[in-house]
Structure 1
Amino acid sequence: MNRLTWLCDGVNRAVASVIRWLALFMVLIQFVIVLGRYVFGVNSIAAQESVLYLHATLFMLGAGYTLLVDKHVRVDVFYSRATDETRRRIDIFGHLFLLLPSMTTLLYWSWPSVRNSWKIFEGSLSVGGIEAVFLLKSLIPAFCVLVILQSLSLLIRLLGQGRAA
């Protein structure tokens, strides 16, 4: 089981090490867009859409890593005051009955849209936009898979803690 958790964690660490650079590229492109528009009077829809694509990629593919390092948003009405054992039980419940089912459902229901988008190589609705909406839609199943992998890894650890206690 340790090997499986190591593998799942490794996938999200590898993805994060690549996509972290997207934040820098996104800022640089946005700077060039603003400079071009307000200083030189030049505008590019494709450049504007590239910021959207980078932003979506950064957040969708970074979600699994965010879960790994425990920096995700947590509604801690009860969690902050709970004992370690209660926190472990809340986390197990959250993974089993909230996170994994919702990711599986999203993966299942988004797949036809992604498949159809790839069939027609769906492009931008805007004239001059990036002709790769099919790639943008592909982030949805990738997001689901990365979060599912990380959730399973964390769930294995949590269940292992229960046996050790």
Structure 2
Amino acid sequence: MPLLLSYFQRSAQAIDSFNEQVGRCVSWLSLALVLVTFCIVVLRYLFDLSWVMMQESIIYLHSLVFMLGAAYTLKHEGHVRVDIIYQRCTATVKAWIDLLGTLLLLLPVAGFMLWSSWGYVSDSWDIMESSRNSGGLPFVYLLKTSLLLMPGLLILQGLSLLMTKIVFLFEIDVKHG
């Protein structure tokens, strides 16, 4: 059993490290989003210039920040939760809540998102879907791929959370058992 727990710890650390790197990279998209929005406003109101491609890039950047940043947010416990009860619980009870929430909610929902998006994204790749707007970005299929990346990253982070809580609960059990 100690070998399995050690494996869980190493695996969770690797997943956490991966999602940390993804989150840090994605955070730069927020800066790009602000800068592109600023350029659009300046060009539009000072020079009366506008390009569909720039407008659509805002949608792409905004989508990618949310979709690819979800697992990073989960890793840092940044998601909104109703913690009227949770905040008053012991560490052991919190671990059980997190473990069961991951098993019963996070993993099934993320798995369903992955499964239900597969055909939609695949169809987009088959036709190399591009913008319907003249002068728009030709990468809609890449944007739609984030519908698979988001649940994939969430599943990974959920597995990390699951392994971390199992190790925690087992160590508590060993200390008290």
TM-score range, shorter chain: over 0.9
The CA deviation string for residues 69-105 of structure 1, in whole angstroms up to 9 with x for no partner, is 1111112232122222221111111100000000001
Query: How big is the shift at 1:28?
Result: 0.5
Q: Extract unaligned runs of 5+ from structure 1.
A: none
Matches of 2:110 and 2:84, distance apart in 1: 23
Matches of 2:20 and 2:42, distance apart in 1: 34
SS of equivalent residue, structure 1 residue 39: helix
Q: Which residue of 1 aligns with 2:9?
A: 2
**Count of residues in correspondence between the two structures:** 165
* 2:28 counterpart letter in structure 1: W
Aligned match for 1:71, one of 71, 78, 91: 78
Aligned match for 1:126, one of 97, 114, 133: 133
Larger gyration radius, structure 1 or structure 2? 2
* 1:5 counterpart letter in structure 2: A
Matches of 2:109 and 2:39, distance apart in 1: 38
Q: Which residue of 2 aligns with 1:37?
A: 44
C-alpha RMSD over aligned residues: 1.1
The CA deviation string for residues 25-76 of structure 1, in whole angstroms up to 9 with x for no partner, is 1101000000111111011111011011011111111111111111111122
**Kept in 1: contact 2:71–2:153 (CA 8 A):** yes
Q: Which residue of 2 aligns with 1:157?
A: 164
Q: What TM-score do the two structures reach when normalised by structure 2?
A: 0.89
The CA deviation string for residues 9-36 of structure 1, in whole angstroms up to 9 with x for no partner, is 1210111221111111110100000011
The CA deviation string for residues 136-155 of structure 1, in whole angstroms up to 9 with x for no partner, is 11001101111111110011
Q: How does 1:1-165 map to 2 (within 5 A)?
A: 1-165=8-172
* 2:32 counterpart letter in structure 1: F
Q: What TM-score do the two structures reach when normalised by structure 1?
A: 0.96
SS of equivalent residue, structure 1 residue 8: helix
